[in-house]
Amino acid sequence: MATSTSAPLLSRQALNAESSAIRDLLRHAGRPGVLSLAGGLPAAARFPVAEIADAAAAVLGRGEGLQYGLTEGDAQLREWIAARHTDQGSPTTPADIVVTTGSQQALDLLTRVLVDPGDTVVVGDPCYVGARQALASAQPEFVGVRVDHHGLVVDELGEQLSGGLRPKLVYVVANFDNPTGAVLSAERRHRLVELAEQHGFLIVEDDPYGALRYQGEAAPEMGPGSDRVVRLRTVSKTLAPGLRVGWMVGPPWLIEAVTIAKQAVDLHTSTVSQAVVRELVTRPGWLDTHIETLRPWYGNQRDALVAALRETLPEAEFAEPQGGMFLWLRIPGSNAQEILPVALERGVAFVPGAAFAVHRDLADHVRLSFATVDSADLPEAVRRLAHVVR
């Protein structure tokens, strides 16, 4: 077999790499008849297809987007990004930005330039699997800090720092966390930035879901203007993930190192994709109007899932997410990983909490996505889940 003959040629890093449990699972979740609450895909029905086609025709019609480009990204796109962050309260210039091939690439590039084997890296427990995969390639020591309904429990991190913990970075999804859906409270944001300044680590703030808020007020920006905060953003959940356009905002020394690393990885993010995104986002008011159409739609999906759970699986415990795509559920007494094969047989898929665990035992948790199953089918998905649980 190919693996046995070629395995000796694989690098230590490749041999150490673990495939994502979610990705492995998704193969079965895509079977006909399965209502999938697994996976993190945005709703394809909400992609602005006509507008993307129109923008692509416009840029290609002008002969743009086909030549090699700058590694740090399209200059006009970076100007727009800088203005947007500045408007949101975090003063930013184009020189603070590198456009990345999705925020996933930003995680990989940060790992390359920041993490040596054995370095301490703090993540939430539970944690987004893709971030752990990217960070794991440098073989750090992972320290998982508990995440509760108000996000990362920063006081616990503070205690560990007082006890001598010296992380290089703390990775956090402060808005509608994946998998918990939690929003990091204003107080904890403030405290986390204080700790970063005091102890000299970086906060990697990954925010794919922040625009998708369905109720309540937006939380304040994390450490506006602080050079301890590296901000990762993406168009994956608001426009379309296939564009593979994201960006990183950070201090000059880091942006320079990341740009050099990116040269070796892919020279630059697709110029066609960047031109299409630039064309769309620089149309006055277009992006905000588009996001305003997404909010009620996803909010309705969330409401349908919450209502179905309250009605059909009342023993399950969860906090209603105020945005994003995920609902983090505890089903007391269950073992999600054990029931998953039965659930797939019954036609419902979810991601067992254990897939996101760092140190904690999260066997009785599951992550449900309300993004892709039609809201009319969500009650049936929950009925199937309840049946399997019982």
Ligand X SMILES: Cc1ncc(COP(=O)(O)O)c(C=O)c1O
Contact residues toward ligand X (CB under 6 A) are: 40, 102-104, 128, 130, 173, 178, 206, 208, 234, 236, 241, 246
Nearest C-alpha neighbor of 31 from the set 254, 283, 344, 319: 344
Give the start-end residues of each E strand in the chain. 35-36, 97-100, 120-125, 141-148, 151-152, 169-172, 202-206, 229-234, 246-249, 326-330, 348-349, 351-352, 365-369
Q: Give Dmax (Cα) for the chain.
A: 61
In the complex with ligand X, which residue's Cβ is closer, 177 or 384?
A: 177
Q: Shortest gap between Cβ of 124 and ligand X (angstroms)?
A: 10
Q: Shortest gap between Cβ of 182 and ligand X (angstroms)?
A: 12
Q: Shortest gap between Cβ of 205 and ligand X (angstroms)?
A: 10
Q: Shortest gap between Cβ of 128 and ligand X (angstroms)?
A: 4
In the complex with ligand X, which residue's Cβ is closer, 351 or 381?
A: 351
Three-class DSSP category at 99: strand
Report, in angstroms and rounded to the nearest whole number, the Rg of the chain calculated over CA atoms.
21
In the complex with ligand X, which residue's Cβ is closer, 175 or 334?
A: 175
Beta-carbon contacts of residue 285 (< 8 Å; ≥ 6 apart): none
Q: Shortest gap between Cβ of 212 and ligand X (angstroms)?
A: 11
Among left, alpha and beta (phi > 0; psi -120 to 50; other), residue 102 is: left
In the complex with ligand X, which residue's Cβ is closer, 59 or 107?
A: 107
In the complex with ligand X, which residue's Cβ is closer, 301 or 334?
A: 301
The residue at minimum Cβ distance from ligand X is 102
Q: How many CB atoms lie within 10 A of CB 227?
A: 15
CA–CA dist 108, 255 (Å, integer): 14
Q: Shortest gap between Cβ of 240 and ligand X (angstroms)?
A: 10
In the complex with ligand X, which residue's Cβ is closer, 158 or 208?
A: 208
- Exposed, middle or buried: residue 187 (CB in 10 Å: 0-12, 13-18, 19+)? exposed
Q: Shortest gap between Cβ of 89 and ligand X (angstroms)?
A: 22
In the complex with ligand X, which residue's Cβ is closer, 126 or 158?
A: 126
